[in-house]
Amino acid sequence: MAAQLAPGHVSAKHQSLHHFVAKASWSDDAVMRAVRDYALPKMQIQGPILAWIVDDTGFPKKGKHSVGVARQYCGQLGKQDNCQCAVSVSVATPHASLPVAYRLYAPQEWAADRERRTRAGIPEEIRFQTKPEIALEQLSALTRTDTPKGVVLADAGYGNDSEFRRGVRRLNLSYVLGIQKSTKVWAPGTEPLPPPEYSGCGRPPKLPRRSLKHTPVSALKLAQDLPNSAYQTIAWREGTNKILSSRFAAVRVREGHRYYWRSDRPSEEWLLIEWPEGDPEPTKYWFSNLEASILLEELVDTAKLRWRIERDYQELKQEIGLGHFEGRGWRGFHHHATLCIAAYGFLLAERSSFPPSGPDIRPAFTLPQVPEGWQPRGSSPPAGAT
């Protein structure tokens, strides 16, 4: 790029570009806001915003000096390894999605190490936060903008965290969040027992009464106890080779995680279960606080919209170069990601303006008709012609 911009001063231009990405003090938030304001209106030409998708992505690393690097789960590798992880929120329409918030996850060993923080340039206000806590902060900031609200989607890494679910509810957002099969739920028609009767001494009891005969069950146990008729085959979108479909069931439950420490009555919500034909047990589970009247097909469509975040990261890494940053600092990491997302947002906006994604704006042309008896020059006359 330096050679293209300044053929006669390549070294100097390379240095200035490096400074712009790694050291310059421009605001990532301001650029991300400008990208969002530019791209979202064009994306909505195709359809309304349906979801806010929470996820994280990993960047494998070999050394130990890149900011935030630690041995942790890396989705790109599918296992625990040395990597950096960033948490993001993407806004999705039926046909496109765009990351609108992006932040590096700083593990505990980085957040507590003053020397490493100083060397990597981690800002003073950055403290240790879990990935769900970072995501909640990003969602809260997004609710204070004019971005149209969507259903919050996330995998079990976020949805299994009861504090994350509670935080999303406090933001008055709907959600469809993945959970693990071990998550405790109250089966339909059951709920925690009321508090013990007040004896007249001390404070009135507020916590539910506990009984070994009255406890929540795991999501797996509930799924296995459902009759076969509760499962329906639902198709949700067209894949590369075939229409994607599976068996699903949805029941109204109440969450049962540490119910004995909760004085409030858990609200009723959906437990969505996916049990593919031929598998020995269900493969995926979701909690959702969407309205009780929603159709199973709509619930499945919403849950499966999360696949768009995978396409985001695939295109950002393979086409835009999100994973190519070789610096070690906090500012450079985020500047590089912001510029990649800006380029991606521009491409999405352009893609939304033209068919087949955008409206058909091609002028209508009348197809010329071949005159009767017309014969291309040099061709043989038709058989039987005089």
Say if residues 228 and 196 touch (Cβ distance below 8 Å): no
187-196 mean pLDDT: 79
**Single residue among 260, 289, 318 that ends a domain in this structure:** 289
| Single-letter amino acid code for the residue at 372 | E
- pLDDT tops 90 at residue 34: yes
Mind listing the pLDDT tens digit for each residue in 61-93?
Answer: 988 889 999 999 888 888 899 999 999 999 999
Report the DSSP pairing between strands 79-92 and 70-74.
antiparallel
Final residue belonging to a domain, choices 289, 324, 344: 289
Residue 232 in this model has a pLDDT that exceeds 70: yes
Confidence at residue 39, expressed as pLDDT on a 0 to 100 scale: 94
Q: Are 236 and 304 in contact (CB under 8 A)?
A: yes
Q: Exposure string (b/e) for 277-299, b if CB count within 10 Å is 16 or more?
A: eeeeebebbbbbbbeeeeeeeeb
| DSSP H/E element including 237 | strand 232-238
Closest to 46 measured CA to CA, from 99, 92, 89: 92
Please state the domain count of the chain. 2
In this prediction, residue 263 carries a pLDDT of 67
312 within a domain of the structure (yes/no): yes
Q: Does 296 fall in a domain?
A: no
pLDDT above 70 covers a percentage of the chain that reads 91
Do 33 and 125 belong together in one domain? yes
pLDDT digits (tens, 9 = 90+) for 307-329: 888 888 889 999 999 988 888 89
First to last CA, the chain: 67
Q: Are residues 242 and 127 in the same domain?
A: no
Asked whether 51 and 34 are in contact (CB, 8 A), the reply is no
The answer for residues whose C-beta is within 8 angstroms of residue 308's C-beta and 6 or more apart is 51, 53, 90, 92, 96, 97
The mean pLDDT of 115-122, rounded to a whole number, is 93
Note whether residue 252 is domain-resident: yes
Same domain, 77 and 140: yes
**pLDDT value of position 366:** 65
Query: 121 and 187 share a domain?
Result: no
Q: Is 87 within the bounds of a domain?
A: yes
Which residues does 122 contact at the CB level (< 8 Å), separation at least 6?
A: 67, 106, 110, 111, 116, 330
Determine the pLDDT at residue 250: 97
Domain-located, residue 75? yes
- Reduced to 3 states (helix: H, G, I; strand: E, B; else coil), residue 173 is coil
368 within a domain of the structure (yes/no): no
Which whole-number Å values give the CA distances from 357 to 51, 52, 148, in the listed order?
19, 20, 21
Instruction: Convert the pLDDT of each residue in 245-256 to its tens digit.
Output: 999 999 999 998
Mean pLDDT (whole number) for 141-168: 95
Q: Quote the CA–CA distance of 272 and 262 in Å, as a whole number.
A: 24
The model's confidence at residue 281, banded by pLDDT at 50, 70 and 90, is very high
Q: What is the mean pLDDT of residues 267-280?
A: 94
**For 13-31, what is the mean pLDDT?**
85
Domain check: are 111 and 32 in the same one? yes
**What string of DSSP letters covers 131-164?**
HHHHHHHHHHHHHTSSPPP-EEEE-HHHHT-HHH
Q: Does residue 135 share a domain with residue 31?
A: yes
In a domain, 136, yes or no: yes
Q: What is the pTM of this model?
A: 0.84
Give the range of the structural domain holding residue 104, as residue numbers without chain letter: 27-155+306-355
